[in-house]
Amino acid sequence: MATKGIRKPQKALTARFVETVTAPGKYHDGQGLILRVQPNGAKQWVQRITIRGKRCELGLGSPPAIPLATARKLALENRGKAMMGGDPVQERRDARAGLTFEAAVERYLAAKLDEFRNEKHKAQWRSTLDAYARPVLGPKLVAEITLQDVLRVLEPIWQGKTETASRLRGRIEAVLSWATVAGYRAGDNPARWKGNLSEILPKPAKVAKADNQPALALGDVPRWWAALAQREGMAARAVEFLTLTAARSGEVRGMV
């Protein structure tokens, strides 16, 4: 594959630069990889590549979902395919047909669940998508999901279940980012917050209701202490220690 004409910067991009840059423009990393920053702050990875003598561009997703290291790896893989006579653009077109959001969720979780720290987090990830996103987005092709589709999922719970809705938005964004990199959709991510949903939905901090925990009445302490003593596990012993010493919770949790 010919490399003539590909702009190579004197200094490659850094992860910090990708994270902080806001000025609109095109920033080259070499090997045809470009970070494109839109006037509204949206960022997208684009790769310029020559395939069978024809120069074209491939979208590689958007940071921070696709960090610099991942974008470089994808660009290298595409160049390798092109050098061997393959066509990564056509591969994406072929793959894009027919993948629903429901199927994309399953493939994403199959690839990512092992990265989650605990079983509870895994269960929460799936349950929020199953409860709120799947009924609306499940049968739709990921290539056809729009901003309005994402709003149909989020708006009914944005005011009353703000924290859940905010986490759900991030999980939908992650699934659609995976679908973009895998070649099943193209263009901007409709679940992206900055410069996208942030212009339509109120900030979570502005609408989330304060959830203050009730204080323990002094007269209830003996009964509460007796009930706590009956509980098994390190958490119960930690609460006992905290109560007797008035230590900070972080100090108790950090004890060895």
Q: Which 8-state DSSP code applies to residue 100?
A: B
Question: Do 82 and 106 have their domain in common?
Answer: no
What residues make up the domain containing 235?
A: 218-253
Residue 97 confidence (pLDDT): 61
Structural domain count, the chain: 3
Half-sphere exposure of residue 225: CA atoms within 13 angstroms, side-chain side: 11
Residue 95 confidence (pLDDT): 61
Write the CATH number for 203. Answer: 1.10.150.130
Question: Do 86 and 121 have their domain in common?
Answer: no
Residue 96 confidence (pLDDT): 59
Q: How many residues does the chain have?
A: 256
Question: Do 151 and 87 have their domain in common?
Answer: no
Residue 184 confidence (pLDDT): 85
Q: At what angle do helices 101-112 and 162-181 cross, to 10 degrees?
A: 90
Q: Is residue 41 part of a domain?
A: yes
The pTM assigned to this predicted structure is 0.51
Compute the distance between CA of residue 151 and CA of residue 154 in angstroms, rounded to an integer: 5
Q: Strand 25-30 to strand 33-37: parallel, antiparallel, or no bridges (unpaired)?
A: antiparallel
Q: Is residue 2 part of a domain?
A: no
Question: Do 55 and 144 have their domain in common?
Answer: no
Count Cβ atoms within 10 A of the Cβ of residue 146 and give its class: 0-12 exposed, 13-18 middle, 19 or more buried: exposed
- The letter for the amino acid at 6 is I
Residue 3 confidence (pLDDT): 39
CA–centroid distance for 156 within its chain: 21
Write the CATH number for 71. Answer: 3.30.160.390
**Domain end among 95, 114, 143:** 95
Compute the distance between CA of residue 5 and CA of residue 22 in angstroms, rounded to an integer: 27
Question: Do 86 and 112 have their domain in common?
Answer: no
- The letter for the amino acid at 175 is V
pLDDT by 10s per residue, the chain, length 256: 333 444 444 568 999 999 999 999 999 988 889 999 999 888 999 999 888 888 888 888 888 888 999 899 988 888 888 888 888 877 776 665 668 999 999 888 888 777 776 677 777 888 899 999 999 999 999 988 999 999 999 999 999 899 999 999 999 999 999 998 887 888 889 999 998 999 999 888 877 655 566 777 887 788 888 888 888 888 888 888 888 888 887 788 888 8
Question: Do 54 and 138 have their domain in common?
Answer: no
